[in-house]
Each structure stands twice: as C-alpha cells, then as structure tokens.
Amino acid sequence: MESSKDHQQLLSKELKRTRVLLIIFIIGFLVVYMFNK
C-alpha cells in the first residue's frame, strides 16, 4: 500500500515537472517567433 502511494506521488511530481518544461518551451518558442517576425 505504501509503495503504491509513493509511486503515485512520484508520478504527480513527474507530471508537474513535464508541465513546467512544456510551458517554458512554449514561452521560448513564442519569444523566438516574435523576434523573427
């Protein structure tokens, strides 16, 4: 039971990190797009 809970916590942590990276990537892409325009 405990290990499954830990796994769930780890998964949510990974999801948060992935979301942050995605947001950073999108912002960076938009900045480059604006400068190239």
Would you call 37 helix, strand, or coil by DSSP?
coil
Given a cut of 80, whether residue 3 has pLDDT beyond it is no
Predicted confidence band of residue 6 (pLDDT cuts 50, 70, 90): confident
Predicted confidence band of residue 35 (pLDDT cuts 50, 70, 90): very high
Going by the DSSP 8-state scheme, the letter that residue 23 receives in this structure is: H
Predicted confidence band of residue 5 (pLDDT cuts 50, 70, 90): confident
Going by the DSSP 8-state scheme, the letter that residue 1 receives in this structure is: -
Predicted confidence band of residue 7 (pLDDT cuts 50, 70, 90): confident
- The pTM of the full predicted model, rounded to 2 decimals, is 0.62
